[in-house]
Amino acid sequence: MRRRISMLAGAAVLSLTLAACGGSGSSPSADEANPAEATGEVGVFTWWADGSEKAGLDALVKIFNDQYPDLKFDNLAVAGGAGSQAKSVLAAQLQAGNPPDSFQAHAGAELQDYIVADQLEDLSSFYESEDLTSVFPKDLLDRLTVDGKIYSVPSNIHRANVVWANVEVLEKAGLDPEKPPADLDEWFAAMDKIKATGVTPLAVAGTWTQVQLFENIMLATLGAEGYNGLWDGSTDWSSAEVTKGIENYKKALSYTNSDRNTLSDWGPATQLVEDGSAAYNVMGDWAEAKFQQDGMVAGEDYVYFPTPGTEGVFDFLADSFTLPAGAPNPAGAKAWLKTISSVEGQEAFNAAKGSIPARTDVPTDNFSEYQKSAIEDFSSDTIVSSLAHGAAVPISWLNELSTAVSKFEGTGDVDALQKSAASIAEKFSQ
């Protein structure tokens, strides 16, 4: 694990889209900032700007307001799922030396980008004073750590390899909603049946959701080890297995709604399943929060299962919060981080967000059945890192691969995508 992280950190050095300026390293003021003495506004940057994501943020802010009645939460959210708009806005702000008090970042390679660019304060002493090292899973802490220093506080764990399906649409096509397809071939056969009923088999939206679908299909085709190898260099991007994966992705894409690029984000794609205008949507489990918020009943209106061919694998990502170098209100930022890391904060936030708590000691009685099953799976499945959500590769690698996947949406040229992906991997692995 440590070896993988340093490889990715090395890749990040070569490839920073986030210029290495603005970071002042660990300033005594940040280390000494005392949350108990915090005053004023705390500006927090996320991409949880609307719908169920905003509801999750609101639940967290409510706890923050209860715990720190004298502080004012300043919501700096920039809309766009998966941070598709927010990350470049944030990069510009960091580059200009204008950081927020805290910002959302994915655990793993994405966080390494900011660390390597010297844009984050080391939170090791915060972890010590709050006694946090024992309350998060070690795998997760490893993804927040570089050279023994830990740089962010995780709020949650999401899963990116889940299919959400409309029960009525499946039944009309003669499919049993309780029996998910065992592999990609069975799933494609089911989608042929759905197509014959005149309903779109698979809902997807614009580029980042296509990248997430691509990641799922590669995982299903290559298995956990082969998929991991795409990011650590042990799987050859030019191999026949990868060709097969891209061909499978092409087939999956052929079942999707033709207006995919005009759907503004993941919400409208998931909505197609809620409305019965599409059968399936491959989406991270923030979709569970939307189904719940919209009053849909699991087992009756919708069902969920791991993307066929990925059973037993948990495609992991986690949101975490940072203390940027040069944050205007470091004491306020630490108060925010205390709320995030608290049992109450993790319980309220995750119950509303569809994710599972990063802490392992949070009461989950009022969590949905889906969330309870995700907690179970996270403890027993093989964990792999999500591509589309910052866990597997640095931001610059993801951006270039996303451009190639987006081009493929128009051309369907398997060979061209494979060659581009191979040369991108080579560039960033050096």
- Using CB under 6 A, list all residues that contact ligand BGC: 47, 53, 81-83, 158, 266, 284, 286, 317, 319, 389
Q: Which of 101, 111, 54, 103 is nearest to 80 (CA)?
A: 54
User: Between 266 and 321, whose beta carbon lies closer to ligand BGC?
Assistant: 266
Q: How far is the CB of 231 from ligand BGC (least distance, A)?
A: 17
As a dihedral over the C-alpha atoms of residue 47, residue 402, residue 151, residue 320, rounded to 10 degrees, the angle is 40
Per-residue CA distances from 192 to 4, 188, 199, 232, 279 (Å): 40, 6, 10, 36, 11
Strands across the sheet containing 158-159: 158-159, 313-317, 382-385
Length of the chain: 430
- Token look-up 């169920």 returns 52
User: What angle separates helix 207-232 from helix 240-254, to the nearest 10 degrees?
Assistant: 170
User: Between 47 and 64, whose beta carbon lies closer to ligand BGC?
Assistant: 47
Provide the token pair at 382. Answer: 């093989």
Distance CA 420, CA 180 (A): 33
User: Between 107 and 184, whose beta carbon lies closer to ligand BGC?
Assistant: 107
- Token look-up 């972890």 returns 127
> 383 has which bridge partners?
314
Q: How far is the CB of 79 from ligand BGC (least distance, A)?
A: 9
Q: How far is the CB of 63 from ligand BGC (least distance, A)?
A: 17
Q: How far is the CB of 181 from ligand BGC (least distance, A)?
A: 25
Q: How far is the CB of 49 from ligand BGC (least distance, A)?
A: 9
User: Between 82 and 144, whose beta carbon lies closer to ligand BGC?
Assistant: 82
Grouping H, G, I as helix, E, B as strand and the rest as coil, residue 300 is coil
Q: Which of 104, 112, 87, 82 is nearest to 4 (CA)?
A: 112
User: Between 265 and 409, whose beta carbon lies closer to ligand BGC?
Assistant: 265
Q: How far is the CB of 387 from ligand BGC (least distance, A)?
A: 11
Structural element, H or E, at residue 360: none
User: Between 246 and 392, whose beta carbon lies closer to ligand BGC?
Assistant: 392
User: Between 184 and 287, whose beta carbon lies closer to ligand BGC?
Assistant: 287
* Phi, psi torsion values for 145, nearest 5 degrees: -120, 140
User: Between 317 and 325, whose beta carbon lies closer to ligand BGC?
Assistant: 317
Q: How far is the CB of 50 from ligand BGC (least distance, A)?
A: 10
Q: How far is the CB of 82 from ligand BGC (least distance, A)?
A: 4
Per-residue CA distances from 274 to 271, 286, 322, 350 (Å): 5, 14, 35, 22
User: Between 290 and 334, whose beta carbon lies closer to ligand BGC?
Assistant: 290
Distance CA 402, CA 191 (A): 25
> 203 has which bridge partners?
281
User: Between 26 and 339, whose beta carbon lies closer to ligand BGC?
Assistant: 339
Distance CA 102, CA 126 (A): 14
Which residues contact residue 404 at a Cβ distance below 8 angstroms, ignoring those fewer than 6 apart?
417, 420, 421, 424
Which residues contact residue 31 at a Cβ distance below 8 angstroms, ignoring those fewer than 6 apart?
121, 125
Sign of the Cα torsion 129, 134, 136, 137 reads positive
Q: How far is the CB of 419 from ligand BGC (least distance, A)?
A: 28
Q: How far is the CB of 356 from ligand BGC (least distance, A)?
A: 12
What type of residue sits at position 237?
Answer: W
